[in-house]
Amino acid sequence: MTQNLKFIKKQDPAVYKAIVGEEKRQAEGLELIPSENYVSQAVLEANGSVLTNKYSEGYIGRRYYGGQEFTDAIEKLAIERACKLFGAKYANVQPLSGAPANVAAYFALMNPGDTILGMDLAHGGHLTHGHPVTSISKVFKFVRYSMKNIETGEIDYEGLRQTALREKPKVILAGYSAYPRELDYAKFVEIAREVGAISMMDIAHIAGLIAGKVVKNPFDYGFDVMTSTTHKTLRGPRGGLILVRENEELAKKIDKSVFPGLQGGPHMNLIAGKAVAFGEALKPSFKKYAQQILKNAKAMEEVFRREKVRMITGGTSNHLILADVWGSLGVSGKEAQTVLDEVGITLNMNMIAGDTRKPMDPSGIRFGTPAITTRGFKEKECARVAELIIETLRNKGDEKRKKEIHVEIIKLAKKFPIPDKFI
């Protein structure tokens, strides 16, 4: 994938050099961060289009500025396609990213001081699910549920229920950032209805898997609201999305919360990129892509199990794996991330449940298969990458072997170049 950068090359060589450097890094390395992916050339073109010039505060047919004929058409397409993908009646495509989408949903569904029950960060949750370092934790009261069994990933649903009965949350939030298994959505909805709470799911990580119909759709089990990013497994531009299954009143509250509540003018170039990506995800080929993501993750899981590297929850049922490299290989997550960067494998350090190490130097690493699956990797190649991850960490002080692995990674990356189009 290459971009036409002739104007920036002439006008701003420093920025041009950095962009070209990043393009080379992506082309010659393997991206395993499960929250990253590659967009098609069509999405890149939409993001870099003249739509970046246009202010479009408000919603379709109700803008504060004139000249909205084409922006309205684009936002309408994005909404229609998002609703079709996820089985929703309403969609707001204006959130700038996943965190703003979550915050907008919170303000729409709750009043300051209300309680929300979400997954503990150490057990796979996200910062926006109520970690004390976030500003939103000062506005709402967050209480948490966790895994009952770290080795299998089983959620403590009875503990979740008892917390809900005791705390009476306004919202019960499912979803995660580093949890490799599926949730029992029916139990979440059952508990939410028992205590009179709204059921909300953050599908940011698995949106593409839901769209591709290879994992369960929470809406099929009665969830009220879903929030998401549009990158990650969905393979779109970096942005956010809020979906409402059928409740028009909730949808209106969410619209008001996004604008004018939290955001001004939406980024119409980004919304155009979302529309293009949603159109790609509606193609039959996207289902095959989603299926391959799961197959590839399983292939990597098998290698880690064979090499006796401990995986939190014992493996994966989705696109990501969380491995305890400190406990299994004597390498901290931070060191693992650094050493693997040196050989052209990009992933991220991550806390694990019961971690005795600090967040900025944790025991685990998190990696996944969305981006390399986009490049055309199948099970054989993914198994080899998993072997190379473990071999690199076991030989972290062997510069000769690391160079050999780096050469192999570059050859593998060149064999599977980043595609310009996916359909």
List the catalytic residues.
55, 57, 202, 229, 232, 238
Q: Give residue for tokens 């139990």.
A: 187
How does DSSP assign 276-327, residue by residue?
HHHHHHTSHHHHHHHHHHHHHHHHHHHHHHHTT--BGGGS-SSSEEEEEHHH
Crossing angle, helix 379-394 and helix 399-415, to 10 degrees? 160
Residue 263 CA to residue 49 CA, distance in Å, equals 21
Residue 390 CA to residue 246 CA, distance in Å, equals 47
Count of Cβ atoms closer than 10 Å to residue 253 Cβ: 18
Dihedral angle over CA of 212, 348, 98, 413, nearest 10: -50
Residue 160 CA to residue 320 CA, distance in Å, equals 24
Residue 143 CA to residue 227 CA, distance in Å, equals 19
Residue 372 CA to residue 126 CA, distance in Å, equals 24
Dihedral angle over CA of 18, 376, 227, 72, nearest 10: 70
Residue 4 CA to residue 414 CA, distance in Å, equals 20
Return the structure tokens found at 214.
């290879």
Crossing angle, helix 185-195 and helix 157-167, to 10 degrees? 20
